[in-house]
Amino acid sequence: MALGGPGRQLRALLRASLGPRVQGQRAESGPAPRRAPRRLAVEGNIAVGKSTFVKLLVKTFPEWHIAAEPITTWQNIQAVGTPTAGPPQSVGNLLDMMYQQPSRWSYTFQTFSLLSRLKAQLAPSPERLWQAQQPMHVFERTVYSDRYIFAKNLFENRFLNDVEWAIYQNWHSFLLQEFTSHMLLDGFIYLQAAPQICLKRLHRRARVEEKGLELGYLEQLHAQHEDWFIHKVTELHFEHLKKTPVLVLDVNEDFSEVAAKQEELMRKVCRALTLSYSEFTWW
């Protein structure tokens, strides 16, 4: 478990942001001040346990809002613009197509996953979050992992050719520059586990599209995460991203039935965010 320099950075950043982001002063008996929601992203390998971890976050911090990864959107590409009555029809499962024929479908997948992640990060925080005492908007993966984990890995395996990679990066840089203020994050939580552990969890979950995935692929994705978050050798193209703090949590251990382990993880999140754990233990 590593909560060293990056953890300290995250604490400092959040402490610095507390004052100015309170909108309006609390009057004697007036309404509570509105705090702009902070934005955190959870990153990690396939099946490392991101969805499981964010469920734990919501159990511990019920007022937080989670933006789940839009996987069902990728599994059911909707026809648009057809003048038929009734709900839109699915015209294909792009996740499955990408895994079945990566050379053919990787570019299509990455442009669409980028679009869907961009929409998720541009979406305003729900109104109820603005009333919360410690409002937090949590994203399961981001436009950044789209490029610096998945697309980069596909390019390095030649499933994106030079032209596709150049065009993808062009779009990515352009869109993120256009929407910079919406893309800022207060921190990343990197869930770290051995690829072998992820493979076991992947097999246990048994998502149909992933049945052909092998250890080698999870090892490559693990290396991409480590290069970005731990060794810091990935070339990043956004200044704010280079400064975004990272909290690393070791999730090799099974915490599903171990309350003490769950509490330890949540305490680490609280400590990194300078929140009092006792205010949130409602379960």
Ligand X SMILES: Nc1nc(=O)c2ncn([C@H]3C[C@H](O)[C@@H](CO)O3)c2[nH]1
Q: Which residues are annotated as a binding site for ATP?
A: 44-52, 201-205, 253-255
Residue nearest to ligand ATP (CB): 49
> Of these, 69, 146, 164, 186, which contacts ligand ATP (CB under 6 A)?
69
**Residue 140 annotated among the catalytic residues of the structure:** yes
Is 254 one of the binding residues for ligand ATP (CB under 6 A)?
Answer: yes
* Phi, psi dihedral angles at 22 (to 5 degrees): -75, 125
Which residues, numbered 157-186, are part of the site for ligand ATP (CB under 6 A)?
none
Q: Which two tokens stand for residue 176?
A: 């993120």
Secondary structure (DSSP) of 69-99: --HHHHHSEEP-S---SSSPPEEE-HHHHHH
Going by the annotation, the residues of the binding site for substrate are: 69, 99, 110, 141, 146, 210
Q: Of the ranges 6-14, 106-114, 119-127, 249-257, which one interacts with ligand X (CB under 6 A)?
A: 106-114
Contact letters for ligand ATP, residues 22-61 (x by CB under 6 A): ----------------------x-xxxxxxx---------
Minimum Å distance from CB 35 to ligand X? 31
Going by the annotation, the residues of the binding site are: 44-52, 69, 99, 110, 141, 146, 201-205, 210, 253-255
Cβ–Cβ < 8 Å for 214, 102: no
Q: Of the ranges 30-38, 109-117, 163-171, 260-268, which one interacts with ligand X (CB under 6 A)?
A: 109-117
Cα distance from N-terminal residue to C-terminal residue, the chain: 24
Q: Of the ranges 120-128, 147-155, 167-175, 253-261, which one interacts with ligand ATP (CB under 6 A)?
A: 253-261
Cβ–Cβ < 8 Å for 266, 272: no
Minimum Å distance from CB 262 to ligand ATP? 9
Which residues, numbered 31-50, are part of the site for ligand X (CB under 6 A)?
46
* Phi, psi dihedral angles at 81 (to 5 degrees): 80, 5
What are all long-range contacts of 110-116, with beta carbons under 8 Å and residues at least 24 apart?
Answer: 110/146, 110/150, 110/151, 110/154, 110/160, 110/168, 111/168, 111/171, 112/74, 112/77, 113/74, 113/146, 113/150, 114/143, 114/146, 114/147, 114/168, 114/171, 114/172, 114/175, 116/70, 116/73, 116/74
List residues near ligand ATP by CB under 6 A: 44, 46-52, 69, 201, 204-205, 251, 254-256
Catalytic residues: 140
